[in-house]
Structure 1
């Protein structure tokens, strides 16, 4: 009788362990690289903005790229994950290359604006065709590649609403940056260098303010909403 009870007990333990979601803190740390990742990814942009205000475009480009490389090198030396540092370096390098070539500091932010527009449109389109991008990203990053959420109407609705929310917020924040970018370009065409410089500074500040804060808030909302639905649909454990 004793050996016959073990097969029945094993399945009850396995699914609970497999269905355990990482905590909110664990998921936030993985996506953002922790507080250190947040700070390190922002430093090169801050360096660019300050150096461009105090000096000139080329020193700002050199300083921001140098700082990004140093951050990546430090992480390698400390044997820490470099995914966030590499992503940040890639974005900084593209913007720096364009700004260096055109000679306009505002072009440093152009790749981020274009990327944001593309990402926002992709989110909204995926929700419209009932293939919410947030759901598929969740499958890859959290659910270990599982797409079982597609079989749950409540999760499909939740991910669709979350995807729309992400898309709207993304388009709003990138729209604000694009408006400042175009204003800086317009002042430059009119020969108002002071106003153009002010807009370039405002663009850098907007990049920082509209960067991680909305992203962190959206992540918190997403994790909370999905965990809530997942808990409600999980069956109560069988009485022992």
Structure 2
């Protein structure tokens, strides 16, 4: 029996793109590791706690911005990858600017509402079109279709088990985004910043980790079987080519 090699490193959907390659899938690694989780959650925690305690929006914005910037600087000083922290800084910056311009602390969460609504809409449209968006993204990451796009598309959509798995997790992620909106938008409308902040934190990284883990459980087996079937098909094709070549030489 061939040994399955360990899955390669990666976070988020990139981690899921290697789901069928090994048995050492780590949710913690997939969501950025312990440090990545802390860096993602800390600005939000500081924002809601500091605002609830001081009711000073300008101070809260200033401290949260300084903290997000400090995380990027610290990674630079340690000569570590700053892409995760930098993307987090941009997201936090948009949220803080939104709250600062409106003078409403609750507007810190408006950007999240928009992104969740957009993601849910895109996933929903893909399901209606019967081309699960998560399948498109994961397969795009797994094997970049720089050419022969049609063959790439038909390769995974033609595998009923794999396409069904991608369809299920696309429903799962769409439900996650809609659930966030269903819980958090009423809190926004009632201006309950403390409850909104807590809900955002609980439905952020924890829900993301759960979605990635469940998605892995759903797609790992069909993805692994698809890779094996494709490898066997390639070996058979190469074998036929070798036979044809030998036959040609004999005829000559």
Query: TM-score normalised by the shorter chain: which range applies?
Result: 0.7 to 0.9
1 CA distance for matches of 2:143 and 2:77?
29
1 CA distance for matches of 2:23 and 2:6?
13
Of 193, 216, 220, the match for 1:200: 193
Of 185, 190, 195, the match for 1:183: 190
Q: Does the CA contact (< 8 Å) of 2:28 and 2:34 recur in 1? A: no
More helix by share: 1
How far apart are 1:144 and its partner, in Å? 3.3
Q: Does the CA contact (< 8 Å) of 1:57 and 1:105 recur in 2? A: yes
1 CA distance for matches of 2:204 and 2:196?
12
How far apart are 1:230 and its partner, in Å? 2.5
Matched, 1:209 2:202: yes
How far apart are 1:224 and its partner, in Å? 1.6
Counterpart of 1:155? 162
2 CA distance for matches of 1:37 and 1:202?
24
2 CA distance for matches of 1:48 and 1:231?
43
Q: Does the CA contact (< 8 Å) of 1:28 and 1:219 recur in 2? A: no
Q: Does the CA contact (< 8 Å) of 1:127 and 1:133 recur in 2? A: yes
> Superposition RMSD on alpha carbons, in Å?
2.8
Matched, 1:225 2:218: yes
Counterpart of 2:245? none
**Once structures 1 and 2 are overlaid, which stretch shifts more, 113-122 or 16-25?**
16-25
Matched, 1:110 2:110: yes
Counterpart of 1:194? none
Counterpart of 2:176? 169
Question: Relative to 1, partners in 2 of residues 1:206 and 1:118: Cα closer, same or farther, differing over 3 Å?
Answer: same
Counterpart of 1:10? none
TM-score, structure 1 length as denominator? Answer: 0.79
How far apart are 1:17 and its partner, in Å? 9.8
Counterpart of 1:189? none
Matched residue count: 210
Gaps of 5+ in 1: 1-12, 185-198
Question: Relative to 1, partners in 2 of residues 1:24 and 1:128: Cα closer, same or farther, differing over 3 Å?
Answer: farther
Q: Does the CA contact (< 8 Å) of 2:27 and 2:209 recur in 1? A: no
1 CA distance for matches of 2:50 and 2:194?
11
